[in-house]
A and B are shown apart, each in its own frame.
Chain A
Amino acid sequence: MADKNYIYAVARIRAHELGLLSGAVLDQLLSAPDEETAVKLLQEKGWGTGDAGADTVNVDAMLTRETEKTWELIKELVDDESVFNVFLYEKDYHNLKAAIKETCTAGEHPGIYREGGTVDVQLMKDAIEAREFDRLPGHMAAVAKEATDTLLKTRDGQLCDVIVDKAALSAIYEASKQSGSELLALYGELTVATADIKIAVRGQKTGKTREFLSEALAPCESVSVDRLAEAASGSAEAIYAYLESTGYGEAVEELKLSPAAFERWCDNRMIRAIKPQLYQSFGIGPLAAYILARENEIKTVRIILSGKRNGFPDEFIRGRVREMYV
């Protein structure tokens, strides 16, 4: 799949890249006096449902629509979009956690599921309720059973989360490596490594044991699970010292600042990693980069609009704004 040239698709993506938000547009959004003005600016850029004359705009619906537009385009461009499932596993495993907890707590909790995954939410709920785990995709069946059994036996929601989250990271990692695409492999590596760092930092702050951390961290090439777990079972300085010896030394300063600064660094690092795809004319890389760029700009717009809604100062919001792909 990843070996195909995707010439037609990349040419269309090149045209769509012109519609991506640039740093200048983000400055305009940040300069907007309120959320309403910022939303109007976005509507002028073609965001939302196209009903620019509407008096009130549901921001969540607008952002959801933007995500849908991206995937509608990708589905139009490629015969088999399964190579991009790696971007959707996060939603699938979130839904898996939600379905397991809903089943084990015997109640309906609308709004806890995320749309747009690769597995139908109802199928997932039915499979877990009926304990027919084989109905789930192969990479999910065993972990669904393990997490459900663990939650039923221990009633420990965190343990259930750890099992599913690690499986999600492993699924992303495996799928990205098997894709045959250098960019998707890089995405998998960065996703797992940065997630491991977050887990280690949180684990250190909450005093988790080395054994717990070893169970929670997912293996990848650029970070040693053993050394990170060892460091995280000690002090924050031990984590920083270990990270300095890896390719994530730059993250240390951000980690010292705040978790939000580290999140921003992770997203910016991903965007910098995909930027060379702007100059690639062949292969799946530019398509994957476009999906990531769109996710990044939707996330950034959400941060700006949320900041405006809550009346945060511009500088505070600016500190959380991500770098753009174009």
Chain B
Amino acid sequence: MASTGLFWALMGASFAGLFAGMGSALGVGKAGQAAAGVVTEDPSKFSKVLILQLLPGTQGIYGLLIAFITLSQIGVLGGGASDMSLAKGLLYFAACLPIAFVGLVSGNEQGKAAVSAIGLASKKPDQFGKSMIFPAMVETYAILALLISILAVFGVAGINI
């Protein structure tokens, strides 16, 4: 049973890295297509659209962070993985889910918002600052999910079950 608990904890870390990373990949990919379109027509806008393209990339970093913390907590990183009950393993798994799923959805949706923002920056370069705000709003929810996952992962570490 102890190894099953570790399996679920590891699965949580994998989910965090996997789905949040997928969200970012989708978002950055979409924004990248739009950025390439703009730069094809006007190479001078490269730096502006690059910033907008990178906005959906943060979800992947958040997922990586949660995965990293979880792996450290369960001892997989740095060796010394300890026995763990199934209940505790499932708690780690549950703790990783917010950033996993919110990361997937928000990364994809932020990518769509970034595509539109790139269109705005392309037509009205003087509105670049405002164009960043719209996709950045989506980030709020990824940050909230990151916060919950961090609190939960550290919280689970202190539970003796």
Contacts and interface: CB of A to CB of B under 8 A. Distances in A.
A34 interface: no
A8 B119 contact: no
Nearest to B38: A11
Interface in B10-64: 30, 33-38, 40-42
Given A7-B30, A7-B34, A14 B112 contact: no
Interface residues of B, number: 17
B123 A11 contact: no
Contacts of A17: 123
Contacts of B33: 5, 7-8, 11
User: Which residue of B35, B36, B42, B119 has the most chain A CB atoms within 10 A of its CB atom?
Assistant: B119
Interface residues of A, number: 14
Contacts of B116: 281
Nearest to A13: B37
A106 interface: no
B118 interface: yes
Interface string A7-50: 11111101111100000000000000000000000000000000
Contact of A5 (B30, B35, B119): B30
Contacts, number: 50
A175 B37 CA distance: 28
Nearest to B120: A14
Contacts of B30: 5, 7
B36 A11 contact: yes
A281 B40 contact: no
A12 B123 contact: no
Contact of B42 (A8, A15, A282): A15
B28 to A, nearest CB: 12
Interface of A: 5, 7-12, 14-18, 281-282
